[in-house]
Amino acid sequence: MDEDLVFSEYLQDSDIRVSISMFKGKYRVDIRKFWEDHGEMKPSPKGINMTIDEFDLLTEMIPSLQEKISTLK
């Protein structure tokens, strides 16, 4: 996926990495768990890869998700 990596950062104190890459001429957002193998972090199959438009839709849903999560605590 890291054809043309634009951004990559691990969530604080987590094994989850968020990255933005160019793939086949289009930007994609990848949210993926990583695991350590002999000192090297490797991607697991547990993750999601989405277009920028899909990511925008997800971010629009976040307030509703946060509201629902607050009722579950």
Q: How do residues 20-57 score in pLDDT, each as one tens digit? A: 999 999 999 999 999 999 999 999 999 999 999 999 99
The burial of 18, by beta-carbon neighbours within 10 Å (0-12 exposed, 13-18 middle, 19 or more buried), is given as middle
Contact by Cβ (8 Å): 31, 18 = yes
Output the pTM of the full model. 0.81
pLDDT at site 1? 47
Q: Which position has the token pair 């307030």?
A: 63
Contact by Cβ (8 Å): 14, 28 = no
pLDDT at site 60? 98
69 pLDDT above the threshold of 80: yes
State the CB neighbour count (10 A cutoff) for residue 14: 10
